[in-house]
């Protein structure tokens, strides 16, 4: 699943800043190469590729909801703070004792635009 995410981000020119794959949803922080239409293409490509992967491993039925929720960061929102918030989600939800103990989240500080 994570490889699918990284593959689609690289293929479509997105900068992957942070992700956290939770049991029932996914948090992403990405910088698109251009317009918001490209974000829809990225999410659609990721959902399609990851669904085929999971079906190939025997999972049946629907994997993702049709739509997605996005939030454009304002100029005063610190990308690093948002990335740290994303990877801390499993700790806040009580499914991990620390961010380091949860294997399905990561930040990529080198991708943060300056």
Rg (CA), the chain: 14
Neighbours of 39 (CB within 10 A): 19
Per the structure, the count of domains in the chain is 1
**Cα 11 from chain centroid (whole Å):** 15
Print the domain residue range for 47: 2-111
Does 100 score more than 80 pLDDT?
yes
The rounded distance, in Å, linking the Cα atoms of 62 and 51 is 8
Q: What is the pLDDT of residues 48-92, one digit of tens each?
A: 999 999 999 998 988 888 889 888 888 767 899 999 999 999 999
CATH number of 30's domain: 3.30.70.1290
Q: What is the pLDDT of residues 1-32, one digit of tens each?
A: 888 999 999 999 999 999 999 988 999 999 98
The token pair at 35 is: 């317009």
Q: What are phi and psi of 81, to 5 degrees?
A: -65, -45
The rounded distance, in Å, linking the Cα atoms of 87 and 27 is 9
pLDDT at 53: 92
Question: Which of 5-9, 31-35, 94-98 has the weakest average pLDDT?
Answer: 31-35
């Amino acid at each position: 699943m994570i490889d699918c995410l990284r593959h689609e981000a690289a293929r479509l020119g997105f900068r992957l800043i942070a992700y956290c794959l939770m049991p029932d949803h996914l948090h992403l922080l990405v910088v698109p190469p251009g317009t918001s239409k490209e974000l829809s293409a990225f999410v659609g490509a990721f959902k399609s590729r990851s669904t085929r992967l999971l079906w190939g491993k025997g999972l049946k039925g629907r994997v993702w909801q049709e739509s997605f929720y996005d939030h454009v960061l304002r100029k005063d929102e610190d990308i690093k703070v948002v990335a740290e918030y994303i990877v801390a989600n499993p700790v806040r939800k009580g499914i991990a004792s620390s961010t380091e103990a949860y294997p399905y989240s990561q930040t990529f500080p080198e991708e943060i635009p300056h």
